[in-house]
Amino acid sequence: LIKNNHDLLEELKEKGISNRNILNAIKNVPRETFVNEISIRLAYENMPLPIDCEQTISQPYVVAYMIDCLKLKKTDIVLEIGTGTGYQTAVISHLCQKIYTIEIFKKLLYQAKINLDKLKIKNVNYKLGDGANGWGEKILFDSIIISATSETIPFKLLQSLKNFGNLIIPKKYPSGNQKLILVKKTSENSFD
User: What is the set of active-site residues?
Assistant: 58
Residue whose C-alpha is closest to residue 89's, from 113, 59, 53: 113
Measuring CA to CA, which residue among 74, 92, 73, 87 is closest to residue 33? Answer: 87
Rounded to whole angstroms, how far apart are CA atoms 175 and 2? 36
C-alpha closest to that of 183 among 160, 63, 24: 160
* Amino acid code (one letter) for 96: C
Of 107, 52, 48, 58, nearest to 80 (Cα)? 58
Q: How far apart are CA 12 and CA 1, in angstroms?
A: 18
